[in-house]
Structure 1
Amino acid sequence: MGVKTKVIAIGAVSGGGKTSVTKELKKELPSSNALFFDDYSFEGSPDDLVEWVQQGPDYNQWNVEPLLIDIQSLLTAKENPSYIILDYPFAYKNGILKSFIDLAVYIDTPLDIAMARRMIRDHKNSSASDIHNDASFYLEKGRQAYVEMINTIKPNSDLIIDGTLPLNKIVNVIVQELD
């Protein structure tokens, strides 16, 4: 019988490094697959994240079955991978996926750094007005969603890593944890 596939969930606030860490970790771990939360469309997911947070977020409101189907497909494949790495923001908070996750990692990136990364990523060709509007929205409403992750997802994770570390060091910490 082969070695059980380990499912690793990488969480962080938007701009916190989930995707970069997931991609780099996939390169580092032999026989691994990566699945990215943003590649999916989840029926029944909240239309307004700020309102969802303000109402007291219910992580089970997200129907993550499309992601679950892909995880199960990899787990039952003839040659299943040693690792499935999920760029996935909810750690163990969604009941559909929690029993599949072996290690929930939270990249603890300071909000100013996450916001700067997001602005660089999302506003390459934006006007000053677009950047101003995005920053204003963050200050007025959006920051609540970031704080929600810090208060809920971070303590619900197995491994918390300093998001100011260089990418290769973050990946090394995760690989060491897996060993």
Structure 2
Amino acid sequence: MPPCCKLDFCEFVSSWAGQDCPCRHEFDDEVKSSSILPDEVQGNIGHAAEELGRLAIRDQNCNGDNCERISRRGSRVPLPWELIQPTLRILGHCLLAPLIPQEVRDAASSAVCCVYARASHDIEPQVILAARSLIQLDISTRKTAKDALIFSAPDQASNHI
């Protein structure tokens, strides 16, 4: 399959899952979370309601906290497991196959983040688990590739001996 078709597929998946969701980058900012929710530890019900309100679907014209209008038109396309499973397999191939161009990897990474954010909103455990696993695999392979480049540099290799 040519790389341009893979890029088109990744862009389609991003838009299908909800490309403009602001929470798709939030999980990377968090340090590894524990299984105990902070609301359970603190017993702060008001904070829990605020967190649930943050998961609401907002119009594209909203920017941050200034948006009070919530979209209720039901325009989201469902993400059934029968469709999302092969989609995640293709995205996994785009992320982890050995001879894939970097721009395809980046597009696939963005698409998986969109799917993860959408699954988190819809509370789809199978999709959350699969997408989060792909995200973690992507992060670890990028880190490994970066480390390999650092250690294979000729001027750096003499410093490590």
Superposition TM-score, scaled by structure 2 size: 0.27
More strand by share: 1
Q: Which has the higher contact order (CA 8 A, sep 6+)?
A: 1
TM-score (norm 1): 0.25
